[in-house]
Amino acid sequence: MGQVERHRFVDTALVNQAYEDTSLPIGLGQTISKPGVVARMLALLLNGAGLKLGRVLEIGTGSAYQTALLAELAAQVFSIERFPALLDKARPLLQQANVRNVSLLLGDGTLGWREYGPYDGIVVSAGAPHVPPALEEQLAEGGRMLIPIGDRDEQILTLFVKRNGQLEGRDIVPVRFVPLIGAGGWLA
């Protein structure tokens, strides 16, 4: 986190708040996640391995701040965002930060990105009513998924590990993410 400058990923009007531990608006009713929560998610994804992950799937590119962090921790990052306007902002920011191992996709992330799966890690940055079935399928054996599960306003950040083809879940901490909108999430 010392290497990725968060102020590059927020609006110029908000740069003075970029290093506070709060979420901030990024347009279209969406927010850049709170750095403390991002740190927690990434630490759980890595599982203290100290090794780079192989392929990671991120749902909800948003500002691309977490995407840039994931790019430091994984060989390849695949990130999906549903709003074209957010992806249009994210793309040049990642280029400026010299991030080259990220592929971006416009679409419904609840369907995953089958072509490049299965993934060693999946990070969902929006709150879901349940685990989207496609994401469960696309998680590799032994892979780890971080996803906020709950209602539209409040969720529990949950860690799932796939063992013998089954997801084992563990509640981590209460969180507030914007809703995951899509076929495997909230309908609107």
Whole-angstrom Cα distance, residue 119 to residue 170?
19
Q: How far is CA 176 from CA 34, 41, 122, 152, in A?
A: 10, 14, 19, 9
Shortest Å, Cβ 157 to ligand SAH: 13
* Active site (annotated) includes residue 63: no
Give the contact letters, 11-50, x = binds to ligand SAH (CB under 6 A), - = no: ---------------x---xxxx-----------------
Q: How far is CA 28 from CA 86, 97, 103, in A?
A: 8, 24, 22
Binding residue for ligand SAH, selected from 60, 117, 121, 148, defined by CB under 6 A: 60
Residue 105: how many other CB atoms lie within 10 Å = 18
Q: Is the CB of 146 or the CB of 162 nearer to ligand SAH? A: 146
Q: What angle do CA 23, 153, 41 make, to 5 degrees?
A: 50
Binding residue for ligand SAH, selected from 44, 59, 70, 149, defined by CB under 6 A: 59
Which residues in 110-139 contact ligand SAH (CB under 6 A)?
110, 125-126
Residue type, position 98, single letter: N
Q: Which residues bind ligand SAH (CB under 6 A)?
A: 26, 30-33, 59-60, 62-63, 65-66, 80-83, 86, 108-110, 125-126, 178, 180-182, 185
